[in-house]
């Protein structure tokens, strides 16, 4: 454990989460955006061993191939209720594997839609029970490139049924549930398809997100964080920067007499996120 101790932003889900730190993924982008951001002084802030826990750490709890049925089996292990520190924000994604067509053997990741809804409800209720200040965002099921999926089908796997229509059904169910439970939700199925070249630009293999697809996810998450009436705000621009004070050890300016404080510099980013 290294300091300063920080509140946690946890990404929980299937391969869309596990791969979110690979190849310009959305988890890596969020980690960069929040690298030096603190929570402002507020009762929301955590205390542990008399130390103030301030800055946001973005961590992944992603599991390739998982569905919501498997997720609820480990909720108490991933998010124990007696943990000394609870997450400030949890971003949840399950649905892509659940929405796959059932296999004749009865094996495989398919989860019937009514059960998927119930499982996601159980996840939401468990997370809400962790603390009074926890914030939750669900990601709806994104679309898929069916033609690309057929091209990249593995000879080691039985035929997989993934269709955009099935994804839409599970996405709509997730959104409806979130509205019922007053949970923030990102409609990825719609957001990704707003881009004209989404079929080829947003996926690596027809289902997993490319860097371009991840940019859309980040944009939509930041939009939710900016618009949410949460106190304190978890939007990165509303959070002060850690160790932001001027220092004589900062880079020397061209006048040779003053220094330039780099703590707020973001020019290294390909996109200047709002």
Using one digit for the tens of pLDDT, what is the confidence trace for 184-229?
999 999 999 999 999 999 999 999 999 999 999 999 999 999 999 9
Catalytic one among 14, 68, 88, 214?
Answer: 14
Average pLDDT over residues 74-80: 97
Catalytic one among 32, 187, 205, 250?
Answer: 205
Catalytic one among 31, 60, 208, 214?
Answer: 208
Of 50-54, 114-118, 143-147, 166-170, which gets the smallest average pLDDT?
50-54
Query: What sign does the dihedral 100-102-105-109 (CA atoms) show?
Result: positive
Q: Is the peptide bond preceding residue 252 cis, with omega within 30 degrees of 0?
A: no
Burial of 53 (0-12, 13-18, 19+ CB in 10 A): buried
E-strand ranges in 135-186 read 135-139, 184-186
Task: Please state, as a whole number, how many other Cβ atoms lie within 10 Å of the Cβ of residue 265.
Answer: 9
Q: What integer pLDDT is reported at residue 50 of this predicted model?
A: 28
Q: What integer pLDDT is reported at residue 129 of this predicted model?
A: 97
pTM (two decimals) = 0.91
The reply to whether 14 belongs to the active site is yes
Q: Is the peptide bond preceding residue 4 cis, with omega within 30 degrees of 0?
A: yes
Mean pLDDT of the chain: 90
């Amino acid at each position: 454990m290294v300091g300063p101790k920080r509140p946690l932003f946890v990404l929980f889900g299937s391969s869309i989460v596990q791969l979110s730190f690979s190849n310009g993924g959305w988890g890596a982008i969020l980690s960069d955006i929040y690298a030096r951001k603190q929570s402002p002084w507020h009762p929301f802030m955590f205390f542990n061993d008399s130390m103030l826990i301030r800055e946001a750490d973005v961590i992944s709890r992603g599991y390739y191939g998982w569905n919501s049925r498997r997720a609820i089996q480990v909720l108490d292990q991933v998010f124990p209720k007696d943990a000394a520190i609870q997450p400030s924000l949890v971003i949840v994604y399950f649905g892509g594997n659940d929405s796959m067509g059932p296999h004749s053997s009865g094996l495989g990741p398919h989860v019937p839609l009514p059960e998927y809804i119930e499982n996601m409800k159980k996840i939401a209720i468990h997370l809400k029970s962790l603390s009074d200040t926890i914030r939750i965002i669900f990601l709806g099921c994104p679309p898929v490139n069916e033609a690309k999926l057929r091209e990249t089908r593995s000879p080691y796997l039985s035929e997989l049924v993934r269709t955009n229509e099935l994804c839409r059904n599970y996405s709509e169910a997730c959104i409806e549930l979130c509205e019922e439970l007053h949970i923030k939700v990102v409609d990825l199925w719609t957001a990704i398809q707003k881009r004209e070249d989404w079929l080829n630009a947003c996926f690596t293999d027809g289902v997993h997100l490319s860097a371009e697809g991840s940019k859309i996810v980040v944009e939509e998450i930041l939009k939710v964080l900016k618009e949410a009436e949460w106190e304190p705000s978890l939007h990165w621009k509303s959070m002060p920067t850690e160790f932001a004070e001027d220092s004589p050890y900062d880079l020397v300016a061209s006048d040779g007499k003053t220094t330039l404080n780099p703590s707020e510099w973001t020019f290294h980013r390909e996109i200047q996120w709002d």
